Structure 1
């Protein structure tokens, strides 16, 4: 489609009906999305010229619904794509790859040079190079293309802004140089590999998978090379609740050791049984031998293992509750998961920074505001600092938001919609 034709389509208000379905949002939010896509096309024309053949893409951010720190032990997680997304406008052609992301200098690459480059670690260029290399390994003949990208996925909020960008670039490369029907999980794996080997960050696969697949998705990482993904058909828009996150404005700086200790201690427990991951250990054997495990690993490692076993089972129960439209049961499990993270996983605040407990304060605030009206709350993401997730009855949401933002500041309470579509071409 020519860019001027894309502008005409996006310029029609009726197009927001399409966006309501794809983003899982109402009238007002769909209109915001339509105008944002229109501006993206206009920005592409400004950067690369008008009247080109273009395609328009979107990849959602994601929110963790259940399974806190279970993925790195080969366990299950429940995640959902959200309406905050990374969008891209792209056009094939030329000798080089140019990706201009809003707010950043453009990245320029040679499609014939896709091996990792020393000194490029930690850059968006490294991610683009790695993703194009992964697509080339899948048989795509990667050529030159131009792209403009923009994201409203909040950085540092646990909504996976980097994973959304990765699967967006993967979907663009697959669509421009392949058939456009690459398996979403494969796109996620290519994004993870790019982040691991090219960008230099040893991330797991949950974020990319949730962004690529969209909707509610239960992901089982027992086989890390080929995780089992089940999309759960549940219409969140009709449940009577608003989903939101509260950014408690805590800094993640200096918390690397706290994060690293969780998988290290869980693996130490697994090693007591001759295994490498807790998912390989039978829960009944763990409890039968608790005294020995405690003496060999320490109490905190034991408690973190208790969290793993409980939350891993809870994910399957949460998925079943959504599948069977038992939303009250689902919310009860959300509250259970939150208590487990606080009591057993112990990732609500850093033991080295006891004066900074924003997440704990956010959870306490949610309990005060929601315990009497059937709401639910839990820690969201890696923990120690960052965000709280809450499910708020729609009629209570405005008041809840005011109270939360009175404590954590304007804009700290961010409403989310669950988006059914994963990384897709929109036009």
Structure 2
């Protein structure tokens, strides 16, 4: 494998880096100030940043060649370093229209959606005019096993009726969120538990969709996207809102989650890298016990260890991306599972060390580290908890030696 970047990729890396330095990092304080004044509406500075990124052609970079004519047609390997650069800021990915859950939802619609669905929902998402959410997790069942989902989707003439209770539905609190992709069951009694599920498009303003509250994540409300608790009570939508067909929900979910998992990991690398750089800057500027922190042996050790762990995770991410490009998501599933286990844990460790070296400053709003840690910890659960990936990976590896 050759992980040297092509001229096209290097040019995009230079452009995204310059944009982050010139526009995104300086806008972080303004973004937070505007957000504090209006919690569930995208700050005006974000809309300005998105317009600038779109004007420079730095837009929808996440969509691979298979999804042309949408996006830039980059491979996963080409996109990986770009996502890492975006991940250095909590607001970076959205600037380039590359933020979850919209990325996964756009991929679902591009791959599985009808022409009508693409025109009504995909195009506005690609243009950055609306936001979306993916409603799968439920409070009453272990949602790490998607076959447990209890939300019902029942056909009634030319409509479907949706009833269910969801929570931690990322993005649904945002006022710009207009469409939800809802996972439920159309055939709960089918002996094959993998064809019981269906995914359906539900406009957020449909009667019966009740946003109960934003769920907190380690004390953060993660505005303006938030993580909503939602009750669907006799929600009626046209039959044409079914994606791909009844019983295809699990298949769609598996197709959606592969790229989403590695995108999270790509951003984790950037977040950890920025944390390491902040750690180094802090250790060079702070004096304790008569010398800078960087001259303390324990500090040098955590800096060195963090650099090693980041590079290991970066290389594994690139290998997984390369495999996705060459053998497909299914063929790369073991590497995707590995990086989904490794990258968030690595990021948690590196960010935790950076917080420790920053002391109290690392815990507050004047540093990105606390938010970074919260996000990294969430990703250990998002798109499947560590334990599920380890269980499946261990099963697959062991089966190669069965007799």
Q: Given the two structures, how large is their TM-score scaled by the length of structure 2?
A: 0.26
Q: Which structure shows the bigger proportion of residues in helix conformation?
A: 2
RCO higher in 1 or 2 (8 Å CA, sep ≥ 6)? Answer: 1
Q: Given the two structures, how large is their TM-score scaled by the length of structure 1?
A: 0.25
